[in-house]
Structure 1
Amino acid sequence: MATSRKAQTGAADPLIQQIADKDRVPWYNKPNLRYLYLMLFQTYFADRLNGEFTGELKGIIAAAYSLGAMLSLPLIGIINDKLGRRWSIFGGSAIMVMGSIIQGFSVNAGMYIAARILLGFGIPACIVSGSSLIGELSYPKERAYLTCLFNHCWKYGVEDSILAADGTFVGPDGIIIFFIPESPRWLIAKDRNEEAYDILAKYHAEGNRDSNFVKAEFAHMQTIIQLEMEHSSKSHMDLIRTAGMRRRTLITAGLGLFTQWSGNTLISYYLNDILEMIGRNSSIFKQQINVALSCWSLVCGVVIVLTCVRLKRVTAAYMCTISMLVIYVAWTVTMERATAAINAGRRKNGAAVAVLFLIFAYKPAYQIFYNALTYTYLVEIWPYAERSRGIALQQFFSRGASFATTFINPIGLENVGWKYFISYCIILALEIAFVYFFFAETSGRTLEELTFLFEDKELAEAANDAAMKASDHARVEEVEMTRDGKAA
């Protein structure tokens, strides 16, 4: 399968990644790296559900959450650059705790909506900073797996928030964050090089400060970040300043829209309406389908997270979008047949069963890329200096798209019925074209080797050469790892 029309990119040769791949010691046999990943696991719970409202205000309350998120997004990049990843997560968690308290003591709809706006205001800081921190702290071999888990593990956050009284358990998240080290890349950008080197040595070489791998990795980070800072004005205008940045911005905006406009919100928010359209009106049956979908989504998510990182990113994007289009075309046809049967008085019909099958089939199709690899891809395509602003941009378009579909979906289902599904078929076809024309491959390289992905290849190679010289000409290609996880 072709990867992309623009296969030639400015990604550097994967020198550091190749060194990391020679390390045969698994992460669970490295005490320091094991501790780091255990602490990072808590950041996966940032994007949790904080209660649900039912009744006539359901749409307004859901939209209030997205509105709060959109209001905070212009500030996220500034806060990340000034305070670092950890303090941003702490701040977002603190705001959500306040929102949860207000929500718990709400005595009217106005207070509840205000609480939802406050909860929405806090969540982007946790999402943007959490995904960045995971990608920037991870050992190169495991980075893709860990960033894939970020979007999947919110389901566990849903469960523990329900068990812990409507989301107030976000408080411990803000405390645990101080047991996690700061991003070494942020420390380097702030000229705190010694602290950054100590973190890399502790977690990427099990405390061995003489590790040739750590020397090369640190030199690569330092060189690339210095080059980035020289060309960055730390403003949102940087996102459209060059052709490469404009392409990143376009991809990011597309991902923000497509993660909400691929038909997934119909299942997430309006499944009951769809079931009623095919004659399944029993409340018990609806609950059974909801529980079954949740369990199925969990199983699919685990399997996909463990397997999708082995795929090329562009290949995974094609598999996701093409399979969703096929499913939605079939779903549209079966919805028409099922509703026609219902109108003819035949409540039990094969088309309705087919609709149920396609709803379940849609879950793994969506998760292949949009659930598993969205944040992985965003962390990879954005260079350090603009990473927080780039992910915040995705959140802006995602929340905006969610805000819009909250109102559009019920109107479409009510007014045109099954024909409304045709609009999603068209959008999914456009997504396939979008992947073909704009996506670039990012797998198999470190974040620094992807810094100039959409720029000149020569610039990327020059940065690689400078980094290798800065590492005192260490023979990094011959680095071998001993069984205790320390560099030879």
Structure 2
Amino acid sequence: MNISNRRPSFVEDEDEGESVPLLSRLAKEEKTPWYQKPNLRMLYLVMIPTCLGTEMTSGFDASMMNGLQAVGAWEHFFQHPHSMMLGVMTAFYPLGGICALPFVAPISDTLGRRRSIVLGSLLMLLGALLQTASQNFTMFVIARFILGFGIPFAVIAASSLIGELSHPKERPIVSSLFSSSWFIGAISAAAVTLSTFSMSNNWAWRIPSLLQLTPSVLQLLFIRFLPESPRWLVAKGRHAEALAILTKYHAEGDEDDEFVKMEYAEIEKTLELESKNAKSSWAEMVATKRMRRRVLIASFLGIATQSSGNGLISYFLAPILDSVGIHDNRTKNLINLAIVSWAFVNSTTIAVTVPRMKRRIAYLTCTISLFCIFSAWTAASAIYSTTGSIVAGHAVVALMFLYSPAYNIGYNALAYTFMIEVFPYHVRSKGLTVFQWWGRTASFLNQFVNPIGISAAGWKFYTSYCLFLLFEIVFVYFFFPETANRTLEELAFLYEGDEIRHQQEEEVEHEIEIVRARSRSRAPI
């Protein structure tokens, strides 16, 4: 891509009427699709088992635990767990994640993204094997704790790696597909439990438990083909390796490609400027108003992604269906499979379309839709509870299907995309750790409390979610920044004020001019 003498470093976007950095504009104007670029195409294909596969494990776990509650052999083996005991069995998975999170960012930043994925995969492999071999309640929950302990190492590193490796043009979409891959695991688990639920022996639940190791095995097999993050390499002083990776995958090996030279210059100068103006420490996360605002947004988003009613469908579908008169185990498993299959279809469609939207518009659409749908769900449940209306019971099931795309617009498609954009490189792993910590804490509390609340209060328990969804609308409106249509480096100083942003722009522009001058000096006369 020859860009000499084309534009100044910042240009006016004709469609948006605002100043757009040159690199973002050039990425947007790139005409050759990714699938016609052999190296980039291979990179994205390798990301499927290695990076997207980490979310498949979480999806498999949620759907499997949902399905096992309708598997007679599992119910009999564990003496029909319900209320608090069922809460413990599901909650130990996020509890493991909470305990792992203090170690995740140091390992990801020190050892690299790839090694962190390997460590998480090995832990999840061990957890899945122990879960399969469980002989009692204690062994089962310990296995789930180990599974949960391993998942943050892989998820945080993989989500960072996707954002830091992808071409700027496709980065928002690939990051959004990361979350939608959750449903691949969910569909697999739902299909497996549907196939085994009628078995009369313990393999009815041991087979799904064993198959939970599949994504981890795929990560370990394919990780050798995945390059390391260029930004991590630059931060570690391995500049030549970083430039080689960018050249191979973003320029198809063309060492003279000026776009990659500019991209590398932007990464190098921005990381250099970040290192001068900040320290990568936990204290810095709350040291300034701008960082506290980032932490506040990450904390809210972590809680919201797990406390918007989705945990009810993901982990406790069976008792919810019981509460509206659906008691047949086969029907429950079929509904579970149908819900996750529909969720995969709409989440994938949303993942390739919503990232083109403004972030604030997408999140407001998500939260307002969720509030309306969940309020209707609560009302329908109340009507069934008081009148026994079959129509109201069926309405609850229909609203579950409507809930899925509403949730996926924001909390699935954009969660990791948005977090990667909000946090600059030097605190990105820590920012994602904050997001994960609050998300897994909320998940732990919800998974423990939900079965107790459903059992004790029925539909009245749902009103707490309605109130929280109303709060989400207010928070998004007042606190969420707009981050769409920028590279990660252009967003590095989102809250830092005009002075440091202008300094960044000047240094990057100076480096770009040097690149252009070198290109002109080598050009044939």
Counterpart position of 1:221: 267
1:351 equivalenced with 2:351 (yes/no): no
Quote how far apart the aligned CAs of 1:215 are: 1.1
Equivalent-residue separation in structure 1 for 2:223 and 2:188 (angstroms): 18
- After superposition, the Cα gap between the structure-2 partners of 1:305 and 1:12, relative to the gap in structure 1 and judged at 3 Å, is same
CA deviation vs aligned residue, 1:139-171 (integer Å, no higher than 9, x gap): 000001100000111222345676893222212
What residue identity is the alignment partner of 1:35?
A: M
What's the offset of the Cα at 1:278?
Answer: 2.1
Q: Alignment partner for residue 106 of structure 2, among 62, 74, 78?
A: 78
Partner in structure 1 of residue 436 of structure 2: 395
1:61 positional shift = 2.0
Kept after mapping to 2: 8 A contact 1:14/1:444:
no
Match of 1:463 in 2: 504
Q: Structure 1 residues 273-282 or 66-75, which shifts more?
A: 273-282
CA drift of 1:105 comes to: 2.6
| C-alpha displacement of 1:330 | 1.5
Deviation at 1:349, TM superposition (A): 3.3
Structure-1 residue corresponding to 2:176: 148
CA deviation after TM superposition for structure 1 residue 272, in Å: 2.1
What is the CA RMSD across the aligned residues, in angstroms? 2.1
Q: Distance in 2 between matches of 1:167 and 1:421?
A: 31
Q: Is the 8 A contact 1:12 1:452 kept in 2?
A: no
Deviations 1:267-301 (A, max 9, x none): 12222222222222233332332222122112211
Determine the C-alpha separation between the residues in 1 that align with 2:497 and 2:434.
Answer: 24
User: Which of 37, 40, 49 is the equivalent residue of 1:33?
Assistant: 40
Q: Distance in 2 between matches of 1:94 and 1:191?
A: 29
User: Is 1:166 the equivalent of 2:174?
Assistant: no
1:76-102 per-residue CA deviation (whole Å, 9 max, x = no partner) reads 111111111111111111111222222
What is the match of residue 7 of structure 1?
none
Query: Counterpart in 1 of 2:494?
Result: 453
Alignment of 1:111-150 (within 5 A): 111-150=139-178
2:23 maps to 1:16: yes
Correspondences of 1:371-382 after superposition (within 5 Å) = 371-382=412-423
Letter matched to residue 231 of structure 2: R
Structure scoring higher RCO (CA < 8 A, sep ≥ 6) equals 1
Say which SS state the counterpart of residue 390 (structure 1) adopts: helix
Q: Tell me which residue corresponds to 1:4.
A: none
TM-superposed CA distance for 1:234, in Å, is: 2.3
Name the structure 2 match of 1:6. none
| C-alpha separation in 1, matches of 2:443 and 2:433 | 15
**Does the CA contact (< 8 Å) of 2:183 and 2:343 recur in 1?**
no
Q: Distance in 2 between matches of 1:88 and 1:361?
A: 36
1:421 is displaced (CA, Å) by: 1.6
Alignment partner of 1:44 is 2:85: no
Q: Mean alpha-carbon deviation: is it higher for 45-54 or for 33-42? A: 45-54
Q: CA deviation at 1:252?
A: 0.3
TM superposition shift of 1:472: 4.0
Equivalent residue in structure 2 for 1:199, among 242, 245, 262: 245
Distance apart, 1:224 and its partner CA: 0.6
Distance 1:353 1:103, change over 3 A: closer
Give the aligned residue type for 2:471: L
Task: Output the amino acid matched with 2:499.
Answer: E
Alpha-carbon distance between aligned partners in 2 of 1:148 and 1:193, rounded to the nearest angstrom: 28
Contact map agreement 1:297 1:363 (CA 8 A) in 2: yes
Q: Which of the numbers 225, 235, 240 marks the counterpart of 1:179?
A: 225
Which of 236, 240, 254 matches 1:190? 236
Q: Is 1:367 aligned to 2:408, yes or no?
A: yes
Structure 1 position 358, deviation (Å): 1.3
- Cα distance in 1 for partners of 2:396, 2:126 equals 42
Cα distance in 2 for residues equivalent to 1:219 and 1:294 = 43
Correspondences of 1:101-116 after superposition (within 5 Å): 101-116=129-144
* Aligned equivalent of 1:66, options 83, 86, 94: 94
Q: Which runs of 5+ in 2 are unaligned?
A: 1-17, 70-79, 193-206, 521-525
Letter in 2 for 1:136: E
* Structure 2 partner of 1:315: 361
Count residues with an aligned counterpart.
463
Structure 2 counterpart of 1:379, which letter?
I
2:356 aligned counterpart, secondary structure: coil
Q: 1:115 to 1:423 in 2, by over 3 A?
A: same
The answer on whether the counterparts of 2:87 and 2:450 sit within 8 Å (CA) in structure 1 is no
Moved more, 153-162 or 79-88: 153-162
The aligned amino acid for 2:173 is: Y
**d(CA) in 2 for partners of 1:159, 1:339:** 30
How many angstroms apart in 2 are the aligned matches of 1:310 and 1:62?
Answer: 36
Matched AA of 2:426: A
1:475 is displaced (CA, Å) by 4.8
**Change in 2 beyond 3 A, CA 1:159/1:177:** farther
- Superposed displacement of residue 36, structure 1: 0.7
From 441, 446, 460, the counterpart of 1:405:
446
Q: Describe the shift of the 1:58–1:412 C-alpha distance in structure 2 as closer, same or farther (beyond 3 A).
A: closer
Q: Is the 8 A contact 1:80 1:88 kept in 2?
A: yes
CA distance in 1, matches of 2:462, 2:289: 35
Q: Which amino acid in structure 1 is aligned with residue 43 of structure 2?
A: L
Do 1:33 and 1:203's aligned partners in 2 also have CA atoms closer than 8 Å? yes
Q: Is the 8 A contact 1:262 1:428 kept in 2?
A: yes
How many Å separate the matches in 2 of 1:149 and 1:210?
31
Q: Which moved more, 1:255-264 or 1:99-108?
A: 99-108
SS of residue in 1 equivalent to 2:161: helix
